[in-house]
Amino acid sequence: MPEQVASAESTESTWHFAAPRAELPPGGVYRVRVHGRRIALFDRDGKIYACNDLCPHEGYPLSEGNLSGRCTLTCNWHNWKFDLETGDNLYGGDRLAVYPVALRGDEIWVDLAEPPPSERLRQVTDNLRAAFADESYDRIAREIARLVRLGGDPLDAARMAIKWSWQRMEFGWTHAYAGMADWLTLYHEYPGDAERQLVCLVEPVAHAAFDTRREADYPYPVDKRPWDEAVFTTAMEDEDEATAIACIRGALGAGLGYADLEKALTCAALAHYQDFGHSLIYVAKAGQLIELLGPSVTEPLMLSLVRSLIFASREDRIPEFRDYAEALGRWDEPGKVEMPAAVDWRGLGIRSSLARTLACRCAPEEDLYRELLLANTWNLLHFDYESQDRVRVPVSGNVGWLDFTHGLTFANAVQRQCSRFPELWPRGLLQMACFAGRNASHTVPAMTDDPAAEDEIRDPKEVLDSALESALNHGQGEYIVAVHLLKTTVAVREEAERLGGPAAAILARGLNRFLRAPLRRRRPRRTAWQSLRFVAREFGDAGVGEDAPD
């Protein structure tokens, strides 16, 4: 198909010459470039239509499409359909840009006028919301790119994602918000790099869309009561959402902010060894997100955070972790200073790990923290990833890489929050010991068959920079995996920069192994075996014993 490059008669006018009328045959199509844009002209029963030649789906030429019915233009690549008169998408995606046409003698002219910037930004917001509702990754990316191109605040994309999602998270916070804090922190590290910055905006917005797609609203209690930390703490312990939310609403209504409530939230997150460390991680990330996005997100983030803490599992109440409460109760007993060393936790189960940590309680807290962090890093370095392929494993043995990363990301949150509130160090350290003990049974002493495990790391910064680049182009189909790659890298980088020296090299080695080793997410045969076993016990089959706890 011929293509003609047309020049505008006047750059001050929105009307531009497109093509001689003779170039557009009856019922035909003609492609032309007008004022820098690719335009497709169509003749339909003597009437001329003009539209952008790029399909808004993936940019294929609409001039190669079909015109049918009253005036329906179909892109033949993916069957998207548009009303050529209005630009409406009949398939359910982005609208098509259409342009007024005028015939001036033997010349076809098109009007490329754009709506005012405020109207265009409104359209982008509406389109982004539609893309968010569909969890359409590519559309979300395009709309955020348009938002930036039109001079809007790029961070508004994240603010809108929170606005559209927070009441649709049935149990409060998800990894989408925790990851958003890290993505937006990374966003500020790439000033002037439009491509990387767009990744840092699209990933958290799309993750929030995924976590809330097709979800209903889950309303929050609307009552308020004066802020009282003791009342709030009791409500959280009693899993009394109505009272806890009323306290938060009252605090925010009185002008208090995250900083005023942070201690109470941190205490609630560390009140139990709970929710695989998510609670404390979420409290730390809430502060970062509010700082990054401003006061408009404070209420939604705080209310959904409280809901997630209310629903958090309290694992210190199950048999494996019941020694935690006793260890915590003995923390202030007098004792001698016994200096910790990460090697002392290797291979220790939960009870022994807690006992070892309690024995070192008189050592400086930062020293004990460092060694527990390195002990959890050793676990990451020695995770038996072949265990991922075993079939006959009880449900309690469903442990994988992401479980091991929580030993490090939780530790990073402990460092952040317990440094602010030192009286909480005993809880944070003992809970780090719980992580070390729960993962130890899934490690192997040596990794001679895994070169990545024992690689010497000469420059931790090089490993960390490479890991961040990998996170920006992760190639993962699951948001939960992508966000673990990012948040583990960010946590390790922060701790490596803080500790430096040999500790930084060990942390980098652990991260390096995680990033290079195989990752299994679905185990069909194991699930089938576990399900058959479960149902057999449910039906009372003789000879089927109980699965052993981990």
For 112-124, the pLDDT digits (tens) are 998 888 999 999 9
Contact 379, 440 (CB under 8 A): yes
Contact 404, 383 (CB under 8 A): yes
- Predicted confidence at residue 546, as pLDDT, reads 58
pLDDT in tens, 142-194: 999 999 999 999 999 999 999 999 999 999 999 999 999 999 999 999 999 99
Contact 404, 439 (CB under 8 A): yes
Segments of 186-225 assigned E as strands: none
Domain 229-315 in the same topology as domain 3-111: no
Output helix, strand, coil percentages for the chain, rounded to the nearest 5.
Answer: 55, 10, 35
CATH of 229-315, one of 1.10.10, 3.40.640, 3.30.70, 1.20.272: 1.20.272
- Predicted confidence at residue 10, as pLDDT, reads 37
Strands 37-44 and 47-52 come out as antiparallel
Please, which pLDDT band fits residue 93 given cuts at 50, 70 and 90? confident
281: CB partners within 8 A, 6+ apart: 178, 409, 410, 413, 487
208: CB partners within 8 A, 6+ apart: 132, 161, 162, 164, 165, 176, 177, 180
Q: How far apart are CA 225 and CA 137, in angstroms?
A: 41
Instruction: Identify which of 273, 272, 270, 317 has the alpha carbon closest to the alpha carbon of residue 434.
Output: 273
- Predicted confidence at residue 547, as pLDDT, reads 57
117: CB partners within 8 A, 6+ apart: 150, 151
Q: What percent of the chain has pLDDT over 70?
A: 94
- Predicted confidence at residue 455, as pLDDT, reads 53
Contact 82, 89 (CB under 8 A): yes
313 CB-contact burial (10 Å; exposed 0-12 / middle 13-18 / buried 19+): middle
Dihedral (C-alpha) 275, 278, 283, 285: value to the nearest 10 degrees?
A: -170
Please, which pLDDT band fits residue 462 given cuts at 50, 70 and 90? very high
Measured CA distances, 329 to 332, 385, 409, 474 (Å) = 7, 36, 26, 44
pLDDT in tens, 307-361: 999 999 999 999 999 999 999 999 999 999 999 999 999 999 999 999 999 999 9
Residue type, 305: L
- Architecture (CATH level 2) of domain 3-111: 3-layer Sandwich (2.102)
Q: Assign 50 to helix, strand or coil.
A: strand
pLDDT in tens, 278-313: 999 999 999 999 999 999 999 999 999 999 999 999
Please, which pLDDT band fits residue 472 given cuts at 50, 70 and 90? very high
Question: Mean of the per-residue pLDDT values for the chain?
Answer: 93
Q: What is the DSSP letter of 385?
A: G
Determine the number of helices (DSSP H) and then strands (DSSP E) in the chain.
Answer: 20, 11
- Has residue 394 got a pLDDT over 50? yes
List, as one string, the DSSP characters of 278-319: HHHHHHHHHHHHHHHH-GGGHHHHHHHHHHHHHT--BGGGSG
Cβ atoms within 10 Å, residue 193: 12
- Predicted confidence at residue 211, as pLDDT, reads 98
Angle at 539 between CA 533 and CA 543, to 5 degrees: 55
544 CB-contact burial (10 Å; exposed 0-12 / middle 13-18 / buried 19+): middle
Q: What is the DSSP letter of 89?
A: B
Contact 168, 219 (CB under 8 A): no
Segments making up each domain of the chain, as ranges: 3-111, 117-212, 229-315, 318-517
Average pLDDT over residues 63-69: 93
Q: How far apart are CA 235 and CA 233, in angstroms?
A: 5
Tokens 């009441």, located at residue:
167
Average pLDDT over residues 70-94: 92
- Has residue 491 got a pLDDT over 80? yes
- Has residue 393 got a pLDDT over 60? yes
